[in-house]
Copies of this chain bind each other. A is one copy, B any other.
Amino acid sequence: MKAGIGRQVQISVIGRGVDASPDSMVLADEVGRLLALRGATVVCGGLEGVMEAVCRGAKSVGGRTVGILPGSDPKAANQWVDVPIPTGLGHARNAIVVKAGAAVIAISGAYGTLSEIGHALSEHKPVIGLKTWRLDPPDDTGSGMVLAATPEDAVNKAMAAASRG
């Protein structure tokens, strides 16, 4: 009897898709590589930009990647996604992307990323921000995010938070 692939810690990585900046994609590639080296499965939205870069980084060292897609066609996943999960839910799939990780790393990001940060914080999920939205809450709500300075810092903080979860 073979063990097969087995279960790993899952970390969600969120960030801008179309029009992601080259800088954010360099960060995402490195985050993906470091997560895979630490034995974590990368979960993301499965499309282009930061989502593609983080998967490419993970696969460059033999890591494992899951893409939770907004549409119904698994072929929409970028080529570095091992397990495409088409949902047909549109933007509502963002809530699932963050649920599927024990911690969330947000890299840069546009409005979709903002919704994912909100969903993750709503569920008391640790969120590590790397050059992403700065948020100033209206009430006594904390900003919620932990800031990271580098990909290595972000991965260390995410893995530590996931092990506490």
**Interface residue ranges, A against B (CB under 8 Å):** 1-7, 10, 16, 19, 21, 24, 36, 41, 58-66, 68, 72, 74, 81-92, 94-96, 99-100, 102, 108-119, 121-123, 131-139, 141, 144
Interfacial chain B residues near A108, Cβ < 8 Å: 138-139
Compute how far the CA of A89 lies from the CA of B7 in the bound complex, rounded to whole angstroms.
Answer: 22
A91 CB contact (under 8 Å) in B88, B117, B137, B144: B88
Copies of this chain, complex-wide, total: 4
Please judge, given known A-B contacts A111-B118, A136-B136, whether A96 and B88 are in contact too, CB under 8 Å. yes
Please judge, given known A-B contacts A61-B2, A90-B95, whether A135 and B135 are in contact too, CB under 8 Å. yes
Q: A72-B90, A109-B141, A118-B118 are in contact. List 20 more A-B contacts (CB 8 A).
A: A2-B61, A4-B62, A4-B65, A5-B64, A5-B82, A7-B82, A7-B83, A10-B74, A68-B85, A85-B96, A88-B99, A91-B95, A95-B95, A95-B115, A108-B139, A109-B138, A110-B122, A110-B139, A115-B119, A115-B122
